[in-house]
């Protein structure tokens, strides 16, 4: 099954901005070069709240400015609630930020680049694990 792009979860971006080489960093770099990466508000928020300097903020902001942006709509909020409700009925809890990312990915036919195991609990979600 194909997809129309990739939302890189915060963990992927954090790995990307670290100096050390990793499979996650290399995968995100390859996806950025190919123009496949999509950004959303919750990932921007998660990354921005952890920045320690103006230099870091500038680096992160510059990296995200040219990316396609997707955002929640009123209908999509209800779909996200359906995803969370289905998880809860199975006895699983996933952080709201991950449910939002998953809902956006499913709505826009995107995969999620992540090493976060919460995403594996969400049915019908395309995941890229480097």
**14-36 mean pLDDT:** 92
> 126: Cβ–Cβ under 8 A, 6 or more apart, which residues?
1, 3, 105, 110, 111, 112
The pLDDT tens digits of the residues spanning 35-73 come to 999 999 999 999 888 888 898 888 888 888 989 999 999
Pairing relationship of beta strands 68-70 and 37-40 according to DSSP bridges:
parallel
**12-19 mean pLDDT:** 88
Tell me the fold of 6-124: Rossmann fold (3.40.50)
Burial (CB count within 10 angstroms: exposed 0-12, middle 13-18, buried 19+), residue 89: exposed
The pLDDT tens digits of the residues spanning 66-121 come to 899 999 999 999 999 999 999 999 999 999 999 999 999 999 999 999 999 999 99
**Residue 1 confidence (pLDDT) above 70:** no
Residue 63's pLDDT is what? 86
Angle at 28 between CA 22 and CA 33, to 5 degrees: 125
């Amino acid at each position: 099954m194909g997809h129309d792009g990739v939302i890189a979860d915060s963990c992927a971006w954090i790995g990307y901005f670290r100096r050390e080489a990793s499979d996650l960093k290399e995968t995100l770099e390859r996806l950025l070069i190919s123009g496949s990466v999509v950004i959303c508000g919750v990932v921007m928020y998660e990354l921005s709240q952890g920045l320690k300097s103006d230099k870091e903020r500038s680096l992160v902001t510059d990296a995200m400015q040219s990316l396609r942006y997707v955002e929640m709509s009123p209908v999509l909020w209800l779909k996200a609630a359906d995803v969370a409700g289905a998880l809860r009925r199975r006895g699983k809890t996933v952080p709201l930020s991950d449910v939002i990312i998953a809902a956006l990915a499913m709505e826009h036919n995107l995969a999620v680049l992540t090493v976060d195991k919460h995403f594996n609990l969400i049915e019908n979600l395309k995941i890229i694990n480097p």
